[in-house]
Structure 1
Amino acid sequence: MMVVVWRCVLVMLVVMCACLCGYTEAVGGAKSRQRPQRRPPKEPKVEPVDQLIPTQNINIPQMTGKWYLLNVASKCPHLIKHGTQVEPTTMTLSQSSTPDKTLSVSTKTRHNHQCWEILQVYYLTPTSGRLILNGTQPGRNTEISIKETDYTTYAIIYYRKYGKVTMKLYSRVTDDLSEPLLTKFEEQAEKQGLGLAYHFPFPTYSHCGDTDQDHIINCVPTC
């Protein structure tokens, strides 16, 4: 009888030891687990800088008068195909005296050995130096930004249509601009992805004078 009792006690001790060992491993396993790592905080969303924001407050009346086009930086298909055939071009700005806040634009250039004048109307916006050239449909408007100018020497103007930017460098005179100004234009163009391969210099001689009425047109350029 005693033998049976001792066997029962022995079995109970084995079972208790096994339970205690299992509990210890479970507790130990729980303690050895690595705590979950916190996810790094999300970086604040940075809105892209609008490249059409002028770098200065633009005085529109001081922009009026004649400007000579010296250089264009653009991926416009027409320029890429015919960039070596560009003609001397001038732009004359005149501010409207009516309360509609518009800027009249006359562009003169040659085509087929004849002088043509293109008449357009730029609408002023609440932002200084930013204008709109209305297209045939609202989605075809051209945004214009007089990026920077000193009014008497040079002006850098950005044009954006369908999300693509074209840059133009104008001068008050036909003489070549100083090297620093040309470098500034090239650096700004490079930031827009417009390297020297997309630069198209315009002739600085033989500009058009008076234009026949038959050669005056109202249109919106493709680029």
Structure 2
Amino acid sequence: MVAPGTLLLLGPLLAALPGLGQGQGQGQGRQRRPPPTQSPLEKVAAQEELSLPQLAGKWFLVGMASHCSYLAEHSHQLEATAVTVTVLDGQSLAISTFRKLDGMCWEIRQRYLPAQAHGRFLLKGRGYGSKVDVVVGETDHSSYAILYYQKGRSISVKLYGRTIRVSDAVVDKFEQRVSAVGLSEDMTYYFPTYGFCDSADEFHILDETKP
């Protein structure tokens, strides 16, 4: 992949070369730039009638589909994961994720900031290049929610439930959504339904909302 800085330098260089960026003769017009490539998440529709207040509360991570090689290598070590959603200022979401690591309960705090359209959010983590785009693809607010996450060109899909198990019909919807974005069954993982954490002490809180 070409570095962004290299692309910025190539633009003026190509424009200065004869025959590039301008016509060589009277009958030749300026060459058109190819249309920008659509990111995978732009093809995903957000939930039309999304109610953030109804999205608030506790959720359980039921399943996840991803190209992530780390997830594939450590799928046998998946831990039960619970999430608490709080609505801030009517449009942002405060997310607290509770899970075990080395037998200890941890809380990871994140904030989903509103993006360009309803149902789309931006998650900013610490460090360069840690921006993640988030889309609430489908939810009935009361039993399940399917969310998409994209970092760079890599996309993942998560299924959350209000209870530790969801219906077979919801699982079918999730797997259809997974297939629609080019992920397969062997990239889909389901999480344990026991061993959840409800809280973490002050020494086991990772707060990614702070600069």
The separation in 2 between residues aligned to 1:137 and 1:219, in whole angstroms, is: 10
Uncovered stretches (5+) of structure 1, i.e. residues with no partner = 1-44
Contact 1:140–1:162 (8 Å) recurs in 2? no
Letter in 2 for 1:83: S
**Offset at residue 193 of structure 1 (A):** 1.7
Partner of 1:128: 118
Residue 53 (structure 1) shift: 2.6
Could you say what secondary structure the match of 1:203 adopts? coil
Deviations 1:4-39 (A, max 9, x none): xxxxxxxxxxxxxxxxxxxxxxxxxxxxxxxxxxxx
Runs of 4+ in 1 over 6 A off after TM superposition: none
Task: Give the root-mean-square deviation of aligned CA atoms.
Answer: 2.2
Q: Cα offset for 1:137?
A: 5.7
Q: Alpha carbons of 1:92 and 1:115: their partners in 2 closer, same or farther (altered >3 Å)?
A: same
Q: Within 5 Å, which residues of 2 pair with 1:104-119?
A: 104-119=94-109
- Tell me how far apart the structure 2 counterparts of residues 178 and 122 of structure 1 sit (CA, whole Å): 27
Q: Per-residue CA shift, 1:54-113, capped at 9, x if unaligned?
A: 14231111111010000000011220110111000011110124x7x4211100000001
Q: How does 1:144-223 map to 2 (within 5 A)?
A: 144-174=134-164, 176-219=165-208
Which residue type is aligned with residue 132 of structure 1?
Answer: L
Counterparts of 1:177 and 1:87, CA distance in 2: 18
Q: Taking structure 2 as the reference length, what is the TM-score of the superposition?
A: 0.75
Once residues 78 and 138 of structure 1 are traced to their aligned partners in structure 2, the CA distance between those partners, rounded to angstroms, is 20
Q: Distance in 2 between matches of 1:156 and 1:138?
A: 27
Task: Report the TM-score, using the length of structure 1 for normalisation.
Answer: 0.71
Number of aligned residue pairs: give it: 173
- Partner of 1:193, secondary structure, is coil
Larger radius of gyration: 1
How many angstroms apart in 1 are the aligned matches of 2:104 and 2:128?
A: 32
Letter in 2 for 1:60: L
CA separation in 2, counterparts of 1:219 and 1:141?
A: 12
Identity of aligned residues (%): 33
Is the contact between residue 67 and residue 173 of structure 1 (CA under 8 Å) also seen in structure 2? yes
Tell me if structure 2 keeps the 8 A contact 1:84–1:200. Answer: no
Match of 1:81 among 73, 78, 83: 73
Code of the residue aligned with 1:124 in structure 2: it is P
Shift in Å, 1:192: 1.5
For the residue of structure 1 that corresponds to 2:189, the secondary structure is strand
Relative to 1, partners in 2 of residues 1:141 and 1:186: Cα closer, same or farther, differing over 3 Å? Answer: same
> 1:71 is aligned with what amino acid?
G
Aligned position for 2:132: 142
